[in-house]
Amino acid sequence: AGVYCTICALALASHAKTSFSDPGAVPQGAVPIESAFDDSHPHHMCSVCQTYKPPKSHHCRICNRCISSMDHHCPWMNNCVGAANLKHFILFLFYTWTGCAFALLVFMWNYFLCNSEDCMFTLVLVQLVRAMTVICISALLFTSSMLMNVTYGIMTGIGTIDRLKHKANNTINVTDDEPLDLEDIFGIGGYHTWFIPVDPIFPDYDRVMGYSTTQRLLREREHNHLGGGGGGAGSLSSQNGSSIRPSSFIGQYDPV
């Protein structure tokens, strides 16, 4: 009972974190990270938000905001799943799957495979076990499908929305996306934090989110100028930290 209650508590906590955490909303003052100026790809702007639109971000018509590395809008969470809360969503699926599998094993051992003389159950208990078995099997199949979908996205670096677009355009095999680094999902706070629904500490917040702000870039530039050090693995901006004004790039309006 203690193990099952712990699994349920972690699943509920992960659900709450996914629902109420910021999925990675792009702020009004967002600007491209410095490494984005080194490539030849144009910088896009959202035609609805009128702000810079980072790569792999999408505008959610339900939330009415752009989400960094948006995977999809989850109606079960009433929130988008993006770069900032993907960890919590994965943990919710994992603990829900684990809880359902554990419950089915308990039912199988104590009910379906019980053939001793002590296996006498009331009608209410029989109907309750049957109903819970159906619910657990349904939830197990659903979460298994979602876990495979998320695993595919991690291995290919292509989110659900982008994958559907590639399939519609028949370009699923010509993408140059790279697999996601697990530290960009679960953070660098230690492996023990990967299984706890706490906010991850990203190795480079701006790179994971796909955008920066003028204030962060200026602050990083001053830090590098005074300290003479470069941006480390935990810096909030790019390596050389030079300032970028929002007007320093020409955006192309992009459909939502």
Contact residues for 81 (Cβ-Cβ < 8 A; gap 6+): 18, 23, 70, 71, 72, 73, 74, 89
Q: Is 70 exposed, middle or buried (0-12, 13-18, 19+ CB in 10 A)?
A: buried
- Cα–Cα dist 3/9, whole Å: 10
Residues 49, 74, 80, 136: which is the catalytic one? 74
Tell me which residue of 15, 148, 141, 147 sits closest to 78, measured CA to CA: 15
- Cα–Cα dist 74/86, whole Å: 11
Tell me which residue of 197, 213, 214 sits closest to 205, measured CA to CA: 213
Query: Which amino acid appears at position 106 of this protein?
Result: V
Contact residues for 154 (Cβ-Cβ < 8 A; gap 6+): 179, 180, 182, 185
- Cα–Cα dist 201/199, whole Å: 7
Q: Is 74 a catalytic residue?
A: yes
Neighbouring CB atoms inside 10 A of 66's CB total 28
DSSP SS3 for 31: strand
- Cα–Cα dist 159/150, whole Å: 8
Q: Which residues are catalytically annotated?
A: 74
